[in-house]
Amino acid sequence: MTQADVPAVLIFNDGTQFEGTMCGAVPPSGVATGEVVFNTAMSGYQEIISDPSYAGQIITFTAAQLGNYGVNDEDDEAVKPFCNGVIMRDLARKYSNWRANATLNAYLVRHGIPALCNVDTRALTRFIRDNGALPAAFGTDEQSVKEAAVSATGTDGHNLAELVSTKTPYSRGSQDSPFYVVAYDYGIKSSILDCLEQRGCSIEVVPWNESAADVMAREPDGVFLSNGPGDPSAVTGASDNLAQLVGNLPVFGICLGHQLLGNALGGSTYKLEFGHHGGNHPVKNLLGGTIQITSQNHNYAVDAGKISGAEITHVNLNDGTVEGLRMNDGITFSVQHHPEASPGPHEAGVIFDDFITSMELFGKGRK
């Protein structure tokens, strides 16, 4: 009998239960805990699992089967996954893809990620939609899981950016590149760095709490604010640093970076009921009137009511939440969605070009 044949149970902190079987790694304590969310993407499970924005969470995949095309050495978004677990309907034990070199289960085992398969993920997704993203626990011993579920916590109030951020600065891209960008790492994805590098940027990635003075001392052409996990209000001091940078040079933020920038501009953030996680979210660009289908992964949103000197540039057509901001200075802007699209549609990627344009114009203005 393999681990994938061992009966297991998922229990929420309200007592609701779902049955399945264990797969992936064995949890160190025998029980995995975290905040359960669902992702509606039909592919890209390796990129999703390795996205640091899922720290503290258990990812439920709505796709019917995972693992059918295996995993490879190129598609990871970080040095390791930070999610607390994975839930799926069916785990493919064999894969078929010319790029693959291992099974998804072997990948989960190698990175110590426990998983639950053979779950009715349709019913589980409906439960999360009706009740919100709640803490839960899963494992093979029902009594132990029940006890862990009672004490399981969500992401509120936890600075998860500190957990996933680099501890020391590192560089990406050629030193001969026309633009030099400092990127705050709140949980940055490798594909975002690829997008910047492909557009002629040399990037210095710095820890989440790098001071504004130290950033300015590096004399960058622009500052990038990355995606990341959890509660933006718990990332203490980050918005204060950003407030000191705004207006001094181009600033561009994505996801958690967008939320932190919103706080820096006088706004606030709040938690969505079950968040946005998937590759098919419609967003309207209010500046041009176009509609973009976007990739998203966040549980919090910006309340722009108290922000002055800025306009809302994008809105989510599903629920009307703020998807983009732009300061009147023309060089400070952010989006809630993921324009690097890994995985997901690529039509929102033009926002990276706007960042390049802002650095070009700002550089000419200084000469």
DSSP character at residue 351: H
Under DSSP, is residue 103 helix (H, G, I), strand (E, B) or coil?
Answer: coil
Provide the token pair at 118: 């053979």
Task: Please tell me the distance from the alpha carbon of residue 258 to that of residue 239, in angstroms, as a whole number.
Answer: 10
Provide the token pair at 294: 């976007």
Do 155 and 22 touch, CB atoms closer than 8 A?
no
Q: Is 281 a catalytic residue?
A: no
Out of 258, 277, 337, 338, which one is annotated catalytic? 338
Which residues contact residue 2 at a Cβ distance below 8 angstroms, ignoring those fewer than 6 apart?
A: none
Q: Is 311 a catalytic residue?
A: no
Do 143 and 16 touch, CB atoms closer than 8 A?
no
Q: Which of 101, 44, 104 is nearest to 73 (CA)?
A: 101
Do 110 and 80 touch, CB atoms closer than 8 A?
no
Q: Which of 122, 47, 56, 106 is nearest to 84 (CA)?
A: 56
Q: Is 195 a catalytic residue?
A: no
Out of 158, 201, 255, 276, which one is annotated catalytic? 255
Provide the token pair at 107: 């990948």
DSSP secondary structure, 2-31, as one string:
-GGGSEEEEEETTS-EEEEEEEESPPTTSE
Q: Tell me: cis bond preceding 178? Omega within 30 of 0 counts.
A: no
Q: Say how many C-beta atoms besides its own lie within 10 A of residue 72's C-beta.
A: 16
Do 84 and 56 touch, CB atoms closer than 8 A?
yes
Task: Please tell me the distance from the alpha carbon of residue 359 to that of residue 251, in angstroms, as a whole number.
Answer: 9
Catalytic residues: 255, 338, 340
